[in-house]
Structures are given as C-alpha cells and as structure tokens.
Amino acid sequence: QVQLVESGGGLVQAGDTLRLSCAVSGRTVSRPAMAWFRQAPGKEREFVAAISSGGYVYAGDFVKGRFTISRDDGKNTVFLTLNSLKPEDTALYFCAAESSGNIYNSYKYWGQGTQVTVAS
C-alpha cells in the first residue's frame, strides 16, 4: 500500500519561508513523477508544481519563481520550498505521486495534506 505523508506546514508571517516535505512509502514505479497541489477554502484544487522522474520541473503560472520543488530519491521524499509567502498562499497543500497521464492533474496516489496559513 502506497502512502504519502506531508509535513512542514504551519502559521507564518507574510514574507516568510516554509519547506514542505512529502514522504512516500510503499511500492511505486521507480522515480515516479511527483507533484504538489493546494486548495484554499471554497476554491478548487490548484496545481502548484511537479517534478518528473528525470528532474524536469513544471510550475503553475502563479508560482513565478517563489516556490521550488525538489526530490531526494534516496529518501523517497519530495520537497516544496515556499518563499516570500503571501496571505493568498493560505491553503491545504498536498502531494501526489505517480502520474497516470496529465502531469498537471492526474496522479495515482494522493496525500492528506499539510495546512499553510500566512498572516498579513
């Protein structure tokens, strides 16, 4: 059984930095594509960033260099570094693993999420 467990969220001030982690356990394909999404209350799920098996990075339009996705395959972990946080970045951030088609929205496994709250 594949499990994804996110951590690193919390309450921060505008302009702060957070590093989110997503640890993957269980059997997946080797070096699966991984992604981060977010969902704010009352809004639809939003693609944040993805990283392919070869390390190619895809990012949502709103990211504009503020967020960075990376992976440590030795630890089966993907990271999302959130820089220059804004109140509008407040959301539940969750990761996904093993793309089953469109790397922007189709994944086989999903985590439960970690809450990021940015105070102004």
pLDDT in tens, 21-54: 999 999 888 889 999 999 999 999 999 999 999 9
Tell me the residue type at 35: A
How many CB atoms are closer than 10 A to CB 59? 18
pLDDT band of 107, cuts 50, 70, 90: very high
Among residues of the chain, what percentage have pLDDT more than 90?
82
Residue 91: predicted pLDDT: 98
Q: What are phi and psi for residue 36, nearest 5 degrees? A: -120, 140
Residue among 32, 36, 62, 33 nearest 49 (CA): 36
